[in-house]
Structure 1
Amino acid sequence: MTTALCPPGTANPELLALLGRTPLARIGTPLPQPHPGFWAKLEYLGAGGMKARSAVAILRGAHARGELPGGAPVVESTSGTLGIGLAFAGQALGHPVVLVGDSELEPSMRQLLRSYGARLELVDRPAERGGWQAARLDRVRELLDRMPGAYWPDQYNNPDNAAGYLSMARELTDRLDQLDVLVCSVGTGGHSAGLVEPLRRRWPRLRVIGVDSVGSAIFGQPARPRLMRGLGSSIHPRNVGHRHFDEVHWVGPAEAVDACRRLARGSFVSGGWSTGAVALVSAWAARAQPGAVVATVFPDGPHRYLGTVYDDDWCRARRLPAPVPTPVEILHPGAVEVTGWARCRTVVDPLDPPREPRP
């Protein structure tokens, strides 16, 4: 695809009034076993989806620092969800948006991003190290070299990513009298980093559970090709605050698919890989700690997954194993490579230098 400078955008700041204020739903569907229930923030019902919050915060922060001139193009890598958020922010703040996806991006998501006015470029093969994410980032850097004045939000490392979720934290404290356990999917690390500190100021004893994908490197497992998209990472985003998490769960595709379908049949709210994974772990947390108030965030809805998560033929072709009803516990992220739902109460930052043993 040829690369040309984008025409300047026209700002539509009235869109910003649509940001956030999403419903908080009580979920009681067995997942897969009965549980006391948990709260879920339905971010897919907000304009631009969950990541519109971070996209607006990132572009506003860049404006304030003088890094993003008015009307300059914005170039970023996406697996889909941030792309929708940036398309929203670009329209609201007056910036053309160029998105770099990959050939595994669903056709429906490609159409949607283009319909929202974003220009989409696709990489056709994963990088030898870092997979699709690294390949997309390499293309982003190529585009920045060819587009003087373009801005790269760098969602994985930009602290304004987390700042975008302060509004969500306020919405949770306004609705809940008590919160004991917060369950967060982890990809760029933005929404967990943005929620934990303000929520712990309100509830100092809050426990935080991170939910990752099997095959993700974020919490010290080896990076592998991943069927699940939207959570997990083959690289190490600096926005992930490992110190915030009390434990981590890795969820496999079989468990996520099962949870998504149970949610759709029993609660009429569901979503994709991240939603299924956090719902499964939230139900587990509610069972494991009777009487605790548990909350999570459903990042997106089911529509982009109709040809994957909700398609019987697609799932059969991938030979997904039977989902397991409870997680296997491992003592350390480096102890064993997990292949399905597992939990670990030792949380480490893989980039921290190893400590010398005491004499």
Structure 2
Amino acid sequence: MQKCPFDVKAAFQKMFKDTGISLFDIIKYQKQVTKRVPAFGKLVTPSADLKTYATLACCFMTYRFANVMMKPMSFARLIQAAMIDKYDFKSNYLSMTTKRSIIDYLNRTKHVGYSVDNMVMCNLSQSDKKLYQPFFFVFRNPDTGSLIISLRGTTTMMDTMTDLDARTQQVSHTGTIHYFHAGFYEMALIVVQKLKLADFDLNNATFTGHSMGAAVAAICVLLLQQQNISTKAVVFSPPPCMDERSCIFLEQSVTSYVLERDSVPEMSVHAIRTLFTRIQHIKLQNAHPHAEQQQLIANYFEPENTKQLSEQTTLEDDLFVPGRIVISYIGRMHEIERHELGQFTLNFQTIIDHISGKYFMDECCE
């Protein structure tokens, strides 16, 4: 198996050392840093095609979740399926699980008007064999003729390794320096290359994706716009993937949707650094002999504090969620500023909220 180029353990060790925070401190103060209270911007009315994009982007993984979480399956059968997926290296091999996932995906997308008849390309690369291998579908809009490129989120172990390749990739374009999540950037380069080899007209194309697929989709838009190709993206739960300057540049062409308790959009070195800094502040304040603990804790729940603290701890090469950001919070959708997601929240609900199916249920697309 290929080794991830980014040393996650070393990054955390450095952060613990630089801030003087211990694992005990994180456990002790976890109740004070588990709540996200963003300062809301204007109310957003979901567009008519939001459910279409959410379905194309998010429902690929529901077959796997349904089998693991809802249908009876023995532990031995799960192990057997995992071993087949991992060790069968036949050329052009797709596991039965993957085949069923594709069939289930296409059964779901036809409910929003996209079926095999609308599909013009599917890149079923072996993402469980190599790093940075994209898995995506290209559909043609039956009404406008424009393309929709749907990128799959994290599914295989190699996808996870791509996620963990969180080195900062520095790229220069016409004298401007951009910074990207290295793993997502490498995958985006391959996607753009494959689309160009297929000789598609990418003007007015729309990229969509969930999780890793969302980040790669946003980077694809930036790469194509640098080549004067007008594209856009509607993405769901993207992890931080590019520097703040690039994120601002994409505000007119990329919309990122996140759910209330989904912490994946906060999974960056910067957001964890902000978390450590907040714990450090709480620890120092509570150490004061005359501190009124309840007031101190309340102060750290003020909506503007996450934004302010995030801005104070930002470095030039820190990564953020791309484009315009819309959060679904208690059944309503609002725009929020980028730095409202600038601190990682220790929220164990995040796994449930990040599951891709949540993004095309009523709360996001009603």
Fold in common (TM above 0.5):
no
- Based on CA coordinates, which of the two structures has the bigger radius of gyration? 2
TM-score normalised to structure 2 length:
0.28
